[in-house]
Structure 1
Amino acid sequence: MDYDAIIIGGGPGGSTAGSTLAKAGKKVLILERERFPRFHVGESLIPYGNDVLREIGAWEKMEKSAFMEKLGAEFVLGNSKASIRILFGRYLKAGYAQTFQVERAKFDNLLLEHSGSLGCEIWQETKVKSATITDDGVTVSCDKDGTTRQVSARWIFDASGRDAFLGKQMQLPKTDLGLPKKFATFAHFKCVERNCFPDQGHITIVRLDFGWFWMIPLDAERTSVGLVQTLEHFKATGMSPGECFNHVVATTTELQRRMGKSERVNEFAFAGDYTYRHLQNAGPRWFLIGDAAGFIDPIFSSGVMLAIRSGNAAAKECIAADAKGTALSPRAQKRYTKHVGKMCQVFLNMIKMFYDNKAFEVFMDKNPPKGMEWAVNNLVAGNTRLGWRLRLHVWAFYAICAIQKRFELVPHLDLSDPAAAEPPAA
């Protein structure tokens, strides 16, 4: 074998897997289709990815890279009539009290270079064409520098993002998790109104009656701003993505206040068909990590955390199997798949709550019952390892959300906006 492991994709999941393997003495090849640094959406990190970044040795480099410090999150109605702010440090230990907003071009490049510093071999601008997997290992065919090459390894990790290379090649079954398809339009802006100190680094989520906006401060000037709506709603507007984005900004009270003097500094980008998960995430010699395993709605900024946690977990399963001199056992395959599924389920429950107007009223309650704020704080921070006490309070939160649908336990939220007009149907 040429390598111990081949990783398809050099994003956060692939880089984390590579770093974990390299620290264990493995010979790793990372195949990345693009040339880093490159633009990517998903700029807001959440605290429960911090420990993995520390474990692989990347945290100190992040602290020296002048990324915007993120201490919490803010949720606001589009009509400006209600808002809440979540401060991580109010309930979480010091190691989870803050994280960063990151320009993904710089962040992803930092993680990829870090994996290289630990010993990973990195081939950029290399397109993987096929992978032949047997019980003993894998042979990958790829195009590099205009030449087709063959490389082999005992293990293969698919971190190809929503391209889901192995999932498509192996025709792995997947589910849409019961959520409608979404469409996102996003760009970077300057002169967006920021929160005052110490909340200037918060992500702001502006809730609309048909979707939501994100606002992520990246540095002293630039803010990432994106509109997420159902694909069905977007098509019904009859507008281009940019026209629809501008129309919603112009007819939403909170967005007018924050973006009235803003200026877009790059072209609009688009992403669609959100939310899916492969039902099997590992085999005897392969792993799916990050978005290649599944992608869920980005409302709670889970993408990078799920990528690095799954990449780290997959690498450790590989290392343990190598120590035994075996392929990944059926039990280990199920364990890894269950681990990824449990992390996704925590966020999926929150996503469904967010899109349910009555449940969202509970989330936005200014005077939650004892323990409720603590539970929600942990969930928004990305804590998927729920101990019994936290699990009990999370269960109570969702129980109140369910009751709210029939009996008004918390005040009703009016989502209508005097400044707003639905985009006209085509």
Structure 2
Amino acid sequence: MIDIQNKPQVVVIGGGPAGATVSTLLAQQGVRVELFEREKFPRFHIGESLIPETYWVLKRLNMLPKLKDSQFIKKYSVQFVSDSGKQSAPFYFHDNKDHDCSQTWQVRRSEFDEMMLRNAEEHGVKTHEGVRVLDVLFDGERAIGIQIMDENGEKRDVHADVVVDASGQSSMLINKLKLRVPDPSLNKGSIWTYYKGAKRDPGRDEGATTVLQVENKQGWFWYIPLHDDIVSIGVVGDFDYLFKGRGSHEQVFAEELERCPAAKMRVEGAEQVTKIFATKDFTYKSKQAAGDGWVLIGDALGFLDPLYSSGVLLALKSGELAADAIVEGLKKGDTSRNQLAHWEREYMVGMERMRKLVCEYYDGFNFGRFVRRFPNHRGDITDLLIGDLFKDSLDEVFESIATMKSESEMMAE
């Protein structure tokens, strides 16, 4: 017999940034939430660079004091290095928006994610680590709960009014309901590792994310300084280019580092302190963000290329929007798809703006050249880079990019 008084109103699958966000914001509004995480935290995860627009969700979560007291490296800018080694002027976030939000952090995800999960607990979320969610339970088209298996191998059903899938790229519902839509134009992969003692820029540039293009333009490196003198460095390229017929991941990483002297120079004399990691098949999205009694957020909803470090922002933002829709729906007694997905269109439009900027980079977009041609768009480009994606005025940037492309084609004829 179900204990109605103690039955959770919402169950959340996954304890990463998306799951921690949605559950915390729900608990703040008095919603009974239980969160189920397969692993025990802390656990390793890639995606260390935060962008400034995470500030506003982190503020709602009461996470800012914890981050300010942490040892995470402060991040003030992003910089791009072309395939010829030419560096762009740094895009300093403060130049565009004079606010505390223009300083963010480079985080070690094992530490950041655990901070987020413990913060959820402090707000009243009941968390379960080391518990596998085996299935989402449905009554017809409506989700009514989940089936779990605890550490002892015992199975039980947990019923709820709403199921939130924040299970990451393994997304339980996107697979169960066959909702995954791959993005063939962004069929990328990455190979990465960590160094100790690698080069850092001085002063406020110490924590800058640097994006370095490989000489043949078939890939790019991220370079992210972390605390404890550790740097995260990885190469991203087309799946076939990186992973087909080229030997081991270690061999490919070394070859690509040779093709990017600006990256190689930064790690010369440094000590590689972890194994080589690799991941494949980056970009996809779901056909829909919600249905009757269920919601997808974070990587379970969709994942973009890591070029502009948008992953944590999209996790936090989708978690925030979903939480607000769920709270409103519970108050009205409406947990239908129409209610739970009313944020979907705006969110997907913003995500598509970031996707377009990613695609332009792979198509040869040069930030410095564009800003020189259209200086009025410098602030708009910075808005895109900081994750301020949800305003229609930004669409003018892509019209100007198209204009510049046409001008280049005409000059080439």
TM range (shorter): over 0.9
- Structure 2 residue corresponding to 1:69, chosen from 45, 70, 74: 74
- What secondary structure does 1:128 align onto? strand
Q: Does 1:385 align with 2:397?
A: no
Match of 1:98 in 2: 103
Q: In the TM superposition, what is the alpha-carbon distance from 1:361 to its structure 2 partner? A: 2.6
Match of 1:47 in 2: 52
2 CA distance for matches of 1:122 and 1:272?
Answer: 30
Change (3 A) 1:126 1:250: same
Deviation by residue 1:326-371 (Cα, 9 ceiling, x = unmatched):
22352x35523213311210111111111002xx135555634231
Q: Does 1:230 align with 2:233?
A: no
Ranges in structure 1 where 5+ consecutive residues have no aligned partner = 410-426
Match of 1:141 in 2: 147
Q: For 1:331-346, what aligned pairs fall within 5 Å after superposition? A: 332-346=339-353
Q: In the TM superposition, what is the alpha-carbon distance from 1:401 to its structure 2 partner? A: 4.1
- What secondary structure does 1:179 align onto? helix
Match of 1:33 in 2: 38
- What secondary structure does 2:343 align onto? helix
Match of 2:122 in 1: 117
2 CA distance for matches of 1:223 and 1:5?
Answer: 38
Q: Does 1:190 align with 2:196?
A: yes
Does the Cα contact within 8 Å between 1:318 and 1:328 map onto a contact in 2?
no
Q: Does 1:370 align with 2:369?
A: no
2 CA distance for matches of 1:217 and 1:362?
Answer: 22
Q: For 1:131-280, what aligned pairs fall within 5 Å after superposition? A: 131-134=136-139, 138-146=144-152, 147-172=154-179, 174-208=180-214, 209-280=217-288
Does the Cα contact within 8 Å between 2:293 and 2:337 map onto a contact in 1?
no
Normalising to structure 2: TM-score of the pair? 0.93
1 CA distance for matches of 2:223 and 2:145?
Answer: 43
Q: In the TM superposition, what is the alpha-carbon distance from 1:323 to its structure 2 partner? A: 0.8
2 CA distance for matches of 1:92 and 1:82?
Answer: 23
Match of 1:294 in 2: 302
- Structure 2 residue corresponding to 1:5, chosen from 10, 19, 26: 10
2 CA distance for matches of 1:31 and 1:301?
Answer: 26
Matched residue type, 1:143: M
Matched residue type, 1:60: P
Change (3 A) 1:334 1:153: closer
Change (3 A) 1:366 1:109: same
Q: In the TM superposition, what is the alpha-carbon distance from 1:179 to its structure 2 partner? A: 1.7
Match of 1:413 in 2: none
Match of 1:305 in 2: 313
Match of 1:397 in 2: 400
Matched residue type, 2:170: D
Match of 1:353 in 2: 360
1 CA distance for matches of 2:165 and 2:194?
Answer: 29
Q: In the TM superposition, what is the alpha-carbon distance from 1:136 to its structure 2 partner? A: 6.7
1 CA distance for matches of 2:165 and 2:11?
Answer: 9
Matched residue type, 1:50: Y
Match of 2:333 in 1: 325
Q: In the TM superposition, what is the alpha-carbon distance from 1:252 to its structure 2 partner? A: 2.5
- Structure 2 residue corresponding to 1:130, chosen from 129, 132, 135: 135
Matched residue type, 1:271: T
- What secondary structure does 1:385 align onto? coil
Deviation by residue 1:233-265 (Cα, 9 ceiling, x = unmatched):
023452211111012213422122111112111
Does the Cα contact within 8 Å between 1:237 and 1:244 map onto a contact in 2?
no
Count of aligned residue pairs for this structure pair: 403
Runs ≥4 residues deviating over 6 A: none
Query: How much identity, in percent, do the aligned residues show?
Result: 28
1 CA distance for matches of 2:22 and 2:116?
Answer: 11
- What secondary structure does 1:73 align onto? strand
Does the Cα contact within 8 Å between 2:186 and 2:305 map onto a contact in 1?
no
Deviation by residue 1:271-330 (Cα, 9 ceiling, x = unmatched):
110100011110121000000001111101010000010011101101001111122352
1 CA distance for matches of 2:92 and 2:309?
Answer: 15
